[in-house]
Amino acid sequence: MIAQHTMIRTRFAPSPTGYLHIGGARTALFSWAFARHHAGTFILRIEDTDLERSTPESVDAILQGMSWLNLDYDEGPFYQMQRMPRYKEVLAQLLASGLAYYCYASKEEVETMREQQRAAGLKPRYDGRWRPEPGKTLPAIPDNVQPVVRFKNPVEGSVAWRDLVKGTIEISNAELDDLIIARPDGTPTYNFCVVVDDWDMNITHVIRGDDHVNNTPRQINILKALGATLPLYGHVPMILGADGERLSKRHGAVSVMQYLEEGFLPEALLNYLARLGWGHGNEEVFDMTQFVEWFNLEAISRSPAKFDPEKLLWINQQYLKAADNERLATLVRPFMEQQIGPLASTPPLAEVVQLLKERVGTLVELADAAHLFYRYIEPAAELLEQHLTAETVPALQQLTAQFAQIEWTRESIHDAIKAAVADSGLKMPKIAMPLRVIAAGVTQTPSIDATLALIGQDTVVQRLQQQLAKAVI
RNA sequence: GGAAGGUUCGUCUAGCUGGCCUAGGACACCACCCUUUCACGGUGGGUACACGGGUUCGAAUCCCGUACCUUCUACCA
């Protein structure tokens, strides 16, 4: 139990080396939900100390992703590059107190050392050649070598913590070596920045991917050396692709924003992500308010989950069906206009959406299905040939005459078609299919009366007259 | 190679303080129903406790071993 008087503070700390991906988004979601559940504070921190790979574009992409998903943060974004003076201050402190030391071994030297260890079947680790010990003589400091700074990790014992997701984890200090906390140019490395940040920002719960499990004992050791209060840790398993390997570009969409482009609703993605590796009884479809209420770290699965695009699609469909027509119209419009240009004002897009939203899985599909209401799809010759026959054309001609006269509502269209069916003695599909083909250009539409009603009386009658006149029987 | 974690239907999972489990739900799949096409919806169906030992009257649930999976093993984060 967490003492309730302690204000809970969590953070999401991505490195800006690309878009916000699915795995990161889920970690962010869990961290966010935990903070919200406890009425705590959620912090966004950009870990941009890798100058080689960090880009401003990636920062924007991450911010955009968070915003689209509605994962709001209370503090930040903080940028590690802006906290350099603070890191250097702590670094100097560690150096001065003998808890860290300079290492003059070159990159190449360390690499050959590791090679030898590997060849000998040993675990590759820094051998401590520059680590000061009482009574030990250090090598002569070479000229022209800028040293790195290494943390003096404890040699004996082990580090253990009660992981909020995985239970107690214990790692022997023998597994850890003296990690580099500052590069030759003086810039601090990841594990050090994280420690200083989590400490300074009073993070109470570190919720992150379980690829960080092995960093945790190192960070705990540094935190202890600094005399800091330790946060609690919870490591959530990775998301795997269908083939069981870590989710990557090969598996299709991994960028959160790509789901926006593919016509997914943010709440659907969130719902899916929440269910991936976490469950609350048999609940499948729930909103974020509900999720926040239910969320707990203990229920997170300890094993990695595979990403299933099919189920995401299904959830998206559930949200589409339930979504407000006007909102959906606003969301789907750009998809349509990108394809067919500005939309006419009739039929009202919201009404078209109302008719179609239960039949599609994404906004892209919705847009595709809605196109026929705004531009004529010329029926293919084979379709006309197939559906305009000696037995159907007379009935259709009569129906067209009816259509020209009736009040243009779904009900009266329905009645007129029913009458045509009765008069001609034909089966309903014999009438309905040619109507679809002529009026919509396709064989798959919602119920024919509703479809015709939205296409409009003049348009429908005109198309019928035109095609029936051309029909060769 | 070493370390850490994991292993319930094809997938996500419920269950894991042992008996209510001849293992539940959802996606996907198949069949049927509905039907004005395609969908939606409804009903039904098949498929899972990795393997081997133990503890116990009784194990998916506890213990041990084996196999397999994932992650980490950077002057990346």
Among the listed residues A224, A249, A321, A418, the single catalytic one is A249
d(CA A9, CA A200): 12
In sequence order, what are the beta bridge partners of A37? none
Task: Answer yes or no: are the C-beta atoms of A46 and A308 closer than 8 Å.
Answer: no
Q: CB A170: neighbour CB atoms within 10 A?
A: 9
State residue A3's pLDDT score.
47
Task: Answer yes or no: are the C-beta atoms of A439 and A454 closer than 8 Å.
Answer: no
Which residue's alpha carbon is at the shortest distance from the C1' of B1?
A: A121
State residue A136's pLDDT score.
87
A166 is catalytic: no
Closest nucleotide to A276: CA versus each C1': B12
Q: CB A445: neighbour CB atoms within 10 A?
A: 24
Task: Answer yes or no: are the C-beta atoms of A148 and A103 closer than 8 Å.
Answer: yes
d(CA A445, CA A75): 49
Can you tell me which residue has the tokens 């598996």? A251
Task: Answer yes or no: are the C-beta atoms of A278 and A300 closer than 8 Å.
Answer: yes
Closest nucleotide to A106: CA versus each C1': B75
State residue A253's pLDDT score.
67
State residue A149's pLDDT score.
96
State residue A122's pLDDT score.
82
Of A48, A32, A76, which Cα lies nearest the Cα of A208?
A32
d(CA A34, CA A451): 47
Angle between helices A393-405 and A457-470 (to 10 degrees): 150
State residue A394's pLDDT score.
87
Output the distance from A458 CA to B36 C1' rounded to whole Å. Answer: 22
Output the distance from A225 CA to B50 C1' rounded to whole Å. Answer: 43
State residue A1's pLDDT score.
42
DSSP string, A310-357: HHHHHHHHHHHHHS-HHHHHHHHHHHHHHHH-SPPS-S-HHHHHHHHG
Catalogue the E-assigned strands of A216-272: 232-236, 239-240
Which bases of chain B come closer than 7 Å to a protein CB? 1-8, 10-15, 24-28, 36-40, 69-77
d(CA A160, CA A151): 19
State residue A452's pLDDT score.
93
State residue A472's pLDDT score.
61
Output the distance from A29 CA to B2 C1' rounded to whole Å. Answer: 33
List of residues 6+ apart from A127 with CB closer than 8 A: A113
Output the distance from A303 CA to B17 C1' rounded to whole Å. Answer: 22
Q: CB A324: neighbour CB atoms within 10 A?
A: 12
Q: CB A255: neighbour CB atoms within 10 A?
A: 18
Element (H, E) at A41: strand A41-46
Task: Answer yes or no: are the C-beta atoms of A236 and A209 closer than 8 Å.
Answer: yes
Closest nucleotide to A421: CA versus each C1': B36
Residue type, A63: L
Residues of chain A with pLDDT under 50: 1-4
Tokens of A468: 């029936």
Closest nucleotide to A147: CA versus each C1': B75
Task: Answer yes or no: are the C-beta atoms of A12 and A42 closer than 8 Å.
Answer: yes
d(CA A125, CA A80): 28
Closest nucleotide to A47: CA versus each C1': B77
Which residue's alpha carbon is at the shortest distance from the C1' of B7?
A: A303
Output the distance from A287 CA to B21 C1' rounded to whole Å. Answer: 31
Of A200, A192, A256, which Cα lies nearest the Cα of A222?
A192
Output the distance from A296 CA to B57 C1' rounded to whole Å. Answer: 37
State residue A391's pLDDT score.
86
pTM, two decimal places: 0.93
State residue A473's pLDDT score.
58
Helix extents (H) in A6-78: 22-37, 56-68
